[in-house]
Structure 1
Amino acid sequence: MNEESVSDSGWFRGVDPGDRTDARDAIEHGTAADPAAWPDRAVESGFVEDRERYYEVLHDVTTAIARTQVREREGTDVQRIIHCVRAMDDVERVANELAERVSAWAGTSFDDPGTGIEYARQIADETTADSEDRREVLDARLGSLAARVRALDDEGQALRETIERVTPEVAPNVSMLAGPVLAARLIALAGGLETLAKKPSGTVQLLGAEDALFAHLSGRASAPKHGIIYVHEYVSGTVPEHRGTAARALAGKLTIAARIDHYSGDRRPELQTELDERIARIRERGS
């Protein structure tokens, strides 16, 4: 179907209204040089009996196209990694919040209550539900809540292990430079490996610092020097006055790594060597 025929007759030219496959192909791959009264032309050509039917067919076909595209996109390993790292963050956040609740609750029943997930695990291991005494029943509910924390913590660790195993297969160079978990977070923040590969290094440097950047643009704060890549040892472990430079160096190599991962998939160990040497020179300035 060429541009001239589409422009003259519309996407429905030669398409059976009941054949959704042909209709989808015509809409997905067809083009038109200029807008036109397509509903009226569809009726005139005999494709449909009226405008209402035209919009029904168009709605059904475009909805099917959208569903297919979303399914294909969500079915990629990259999208699974994004869901996995976001799920891990959700699980860890909820586990920590519930662990705080367990600690506060435990303070009403036990002397010197601890804090954190490890203490919740201890409560879950030590509390039983075999009593009808009011206090012990309440303590049993505390133990049940602590057990939920333990289960969430276990799930978070399992998700982390999955990320550490799968991300290097999908983005080997970014994982090599950033570590699998940070690599997955960068991919998630960018919205995908392809999107990350297309971003300039300055944007990669500030991924995760959007609120700070907005505050700066609004005149309420100084410009951020780094986003989530701060957790990388090459940034956080560099003296403050040189962290911005270290962040730029890391972001630059990560950008190159993302492009290689997306467009070729080749492993480039020299990227790590080059980054190591660059960070070493930066740190020498602060010594």
Structure 2
Amino acid sequence: MAIFQELTAFGYALFECLQNEEIGYKLANVQKAVQDLVKFGKAVKLKSFVPFKNAAHALENANDISEGVLNDHLKNFLEMNLPRPGKKKNPILGVVDKNLASSVKAELGFDCETSEIVLEIVRGIRLHSDKLLNQVKEGELVKAQLGLGHSYSRAKVKFNVNRADNMIIQAISLLDQLDKDINTFAMRVREWYSWHFPELVKIINDNHIYSVLAKFIRNKTDLTEDHLDALAEITGDKLKAKQIIDAARVSMGTDISELDMINIEHFADRVINLADYRKNLHEYLLFKMNNVAPNLSALIGEVVGARLISHAGSLANLSKYPASTVQILGAEKALFRALKTKGNTPKYGLLYHSSFIGRAGVKNKGRISRFLANKCTIASRIDCFTDKPTSKFGEALKNQVEERLKFYESGTAVTKNADVIKKVIEELEKESDEEMDVDKVQSATSVKRKASEVTGEEVSPPKKHKKSKTQANNDDKPKDKDEETVEESSKPKKKKKDKKKATKDIKKKDKS
């Protein structure tokens, strides 16, 4: 058996297997023999080795092997060192990657094996590769593997910066964490400041506004009618501002020292900053979702779509999930509990936060969640695999869900997926044609401008022949005699020539 192995940054090596244990390869003695270079060297012999040209060539071959593609360099290497497959001699090529084995079999016709025996022999080759390869010096193989590993990882990680779904995962995780922290800190501000002004809790329900008021009011005894406009601006309601001033006059809260008030003010300031940062983060999440997954965000909203992407791990993972998995995504514990106890499985997971589930009736919640999960898979796949992001597919799918809700209520007909997608594609094609026409006009004008810059002449679009103001003024002015004679002399003298011809013809007739 001949075993093929790709040796990181150095090249391809072909080993001939002289001895192999097919039955007892899992025994402890056989496993130890693989680790012993003397015993392993008797079973495996280096047949041929070809190095890579440079680091870029090594990276190209590594990418091809990872995708199961037979590179031309590897193809030439195998054709040079292995006999052509025939009836008598048919070498068996051991390959680690199954996809690569199938491509080698399809293009070259060699019988390939990818069993566990091949993996064990390749493990031994990689363990003793420094000693088996004579061209490689000690320590160079590790450096080459490290360099190729870094370049290979960089090539795999390369993506469109504007469509990075990892940023969405981090943003939605931070947003959920901020919601919990802001709620906890705001309750602490309420409890702390309520010792001084307990009536404010019943008047103001919003945590952010309460923290701003606690920082603004500070000592309740300082509140007067002069602060009415400022309080109305903070609360957005003059009645509430009036209630705060009235409550401060008859408040049952205890007095508080200046030092304690300073600490409450600092803590309230931190809560306000966190709330403001939470708003900015929410806007950032909306922006990223509209760039990365516009159809999914148009269908179920940016926050729910971001939670689906975060739970799946990436937009690519979400696009690979079937609709049944997307439907219960986020309810895994309830699902396994139901399977264990043989109870009813959950109807929805993260999709429960969508507005469509809340609008559906009790009997139709499971149906609409299944239908919505189907549309989410279509939207996520469009977002993942399209080059030009657009939200029109998501809007069309959203209209389909709206139609399905109406169908459950009144029984109106629902449009099919094929018709909806076809209609959107036609609209996009029309828009692309219009953009192409605009681009052609712009390119033509830019070419004219460049030509005018080179020649120094002004290029203007063709217009109708009209007299300029200077020409019209010159025509209106009375002309001098000299100018008239010059113009007459410059005119073509057709009439004089015609007279001469007529006189010549008359003379000829007289002579005859």
| TM-score, normalized by the shorter chain, greater than 0.5 | yes
- Cα deviation, 1:248-272, whole Å, max 9, x if unaligned, reads 1111111111112222345324322
Shift of 1:234: 1.0
Larger strand fraction of residues: 2
Q: TM-score, normalised by structure 1?
A: 0.80
Question: Matched residue of 2:166: which SS?
Answer: helix
Contact 1:245-1:282 at 8 Å conserved across structures: no
Asked if 1:33 corresponds to 2:124, the answer is no
Counterpart contact for 1:226–1:247, Cα < 8 Å: yes
Q: For 1:168 and 1:217, locate their aligned partners in 2 and report how far apart those are by CA, in whole Å.
A: 37
Q: For 2:137, give the aligned amino acid.
A: E
Q: What does residue 123 of structure 1 align with?
A: 214
Structure 1 residues 79 and 15: alpha-carbon distance in aligned structure 2, compared to 1, 3 A threshold: same
Deviation at 1:124, TM superposition (A): 2.9
Correspondence 1:138 to 2:260: yes
Shift of 1:123: 1.6
Matched residue, 2:496:
none
Relative to 1, partners in 2 of residues 1:271 and 1:101: Cα closer, same or farther, differing over 3 Å?
A: same
Q: Tell me if the contact between 1:85 and 1:181 (Cα under 8 Å) persists in the aligned partners.
A: yes
Distance across 2 between alignment mates of 1:270 and 1:73: 26
The one of the two structures with greater contact order (alpha-carbon pairs below 8 A, sep at least 6) is: 1
Q: Which residue of 1 aligns with 2:378?
A: 256
- Encode CA deviations 1:168-197: one digit per residue, 9 max, x unaligned: 232222111112222222222222222111
Residue 199 of structure 1, CA deviation: 0.8
| 8 Å CA contact 1:85, 1:188 repeated in 2 | yes
- The alignment yields a C-alpha RMSD, in angstroms, of 3.2
Residue 85 of structure 2 aligns with which residue?
none
Within 5 Å, give how 1:21-100 maps onto structure 2: 23-30=58-65, 33-34=95-96, 35=119, 36=122, 37-50=125-138, 54-55=141-142, 57-59=144-146, 61-63=148-150, 65-66=152-153, 69-70=156-157, 72=159, 76-100=163-187
Aligned length: 274
After TM superposition, the structure 1 stretch with the greater mean CA deviation from structure 2, 92-101 or 102-111, is: 102-111
| 5+ residue gaps, structure 2 | 12-50, 67-93, 97-118, 220-254, 412-512
Q: Is the 8 A contact 1:95 1:152 kept in 2?
A: yes
How much has 1:23 moved relative to structure 2? Answer: 4.9
Which ranges in structure 1 are unaligned for 5 or more consecutive residues? none
How far off is 1:90 after superposition? 1.8
Q: Does residue 203 in structure 1 map to residue 325 in structure 2?
A: yes
Whether contact under 8 Å (1:172, 1:261) holds in the other structure is yes
Question: Using the alignment, how far apart are the partners of 1:110 and 1:90 within structure 2?
Answer: 29
Task: Specify the alignment match of 1:10 in structure 2.
Answer: 7
TM-score (norm 2): 0.48
- Shift of residue 154, structure 1, vs aligned partner: 0.9
Q: Is the 8 A contact 1:199 1:255 kept in 2?
A: yes
**Cα offset for 1:70?**
4.8
Output the CA distance in 1 between the equivalents of 2:131 and 2:65.
Answer: 19
User: Hey, what's the Cα distance between the residues in 1 that align with 2:256 and 2:154?
Assistant: 54
Quote the residue 1:280 is aligned against. Answer: 406
Kindly indicate whether the alpha-carbon contact (under 8 Å) linking 1:124 and 1:150 is maintained by their aligned counterparts in 2.
Answer: no
Mean CA deviation greater in 74-83 or 23-32: 23-32
- Structure 1 residue 148 and structure 2 residue 235: aligned? no
Rounded to whole Å, the distance in 1 between the matches of 2:62 and 2:385 is 28
| CA distance 1:82–1:190, change in 2 (3 Å) | same
- The whole-number CA distance in structure 2 between the counterparts of 1:145 and 1:47 is 68
Change (3 A) 1:53 1:240: same
- Of structures 1 and 2, the larger Rg is shown by 2
- Does structure 1 conserve the Cα–Cα contact (< 8 Å) formed by 2:5 and 2:95? no
Change (3 A) 1:88 1:8: closer
2:327–2:349 CA contact under 8 A, matched in 1: yes
Q: Is the 8 A contact 2:338 2:344 kept in 1?
A: yes
The structure where helix makes up a greater share of residues is: 1
